[in-house]
Amino acid sequence: MENIRIIVASDSVGETAELVARACLSQFNPKQCEREVSRYPYIDALENVDEVIQVAIDADAIVVYTLVKPEIRKYMEAKVRENNIQAVDIMGPLMNILLEKFDEEPYFEPGLVHQLDEAYFKKIDAIEFAVKYDDGKDPKGLSKADIVLLGISRTSKTPLSQYLAHKSYKVMNIPIVPEVTPPDHLFEIDPSKCIALKISEEKLNRIRKERLKQLGLGDHARYATEQRIEEELNYFHELVDKVGCPVIDVSDKAIEETANDIISIIEQNRFTN
């Protein structure tokens, strides 16, 4: 078994280089090789390069780097050659081509893409929001959310929240359970940003029985009985009528399809409000 170590070196956060490294590693059978990726961000001095080189020598590691500043990149190039270290310069070749194409000097400023890209930070905030307010953990998220998803168990609330978060929507999802009183604030917020997720009894029964099997439990547990499902769906419809929000049937839809329907409704409501 081959133990492979990759060192990601960057004068910014190193996200780009790590994504490339992991994308490449994912193409190889994880059972046949052990892989470790270490990130060394904010390399802004030659001494930092020396540290990376020493670690690479000690660990017999591959170096993958994104260095914008010419002097640091050239120093890295020289050091990996000098020490016969396998290395990949991700940004350098394209930067050299662009230098020939543009009639202007680049900024040579690390991390500029994130400084200029407000959408990047908006997406990160949305992802963190979805995690923080998943499964109705904190009702304070209701007023801050762009979208509030309502649904009984196994209606894909969490996967939808994460998918929509990657589209930069702040999403909170609230489980609808007869024995649990929903937060009062749910009935005070704008219902146009709420989406209820409906599912057929038959589909829900199959999903829940399969879930019980995965947990090593019998499929006769009350969670998957027709009586319990009917009870939950009746309560769901009563609650949704009280909230007065749109309803999407997720019975035979993929996550992406449902998410697109949600976005369409939310954006249309924003336009008309």
What is the per-residue pLDDT across 177-192, written as a single tens digit (0 to 9) for each? 999 999 999 999 999 9
Domain boundaries, the chain: 2-113, 118-272
Q: Quick: pLDDT tens for 194-230.
A: 999 999 999 999 999 888 888 888 767 888 899 999 9
Residue 270 makes CB contacts below 8 A (sequence gap 6+) with: none
CATH class as words, domain 118-272? alpha beta
Between CA 33 and CA 120 the distance in angstroms is 33
pLDDT in tens, 69-94: 999 999 999 999 999 999 999 988 98
Domain boundaries 2-113, corresponding CATH code: 3.40.50
CB 255 within 8 A of CB 185: no
Rounded distance between C-alpha atoms, residue 62 and residue 41, angstroms: 16
Element (H, E) at 53: helix 46-59
Q: Choose among 169, 173, 195, 171: nearest CA to 182.
A: 173
The three-state secondary structure class of 131 is helix
Q: Which amino acid is present at 29?
A: N
| 2-113 and 118-272, same CATH topology | yes
Q: Is the pTM of this model over 0.75?
A: no
> Two tokens at 251?
């019975």
What average pLDDT score do residues 109-115 get? 63
User: What does the buried/exposed string (b/e) look like for 74-107 if buried means 16 or more CB atoms within 10 Å of the residue's CB?
Assistant: ebbbebbeeeebebbbbbbeebeeeeeeeeeeee
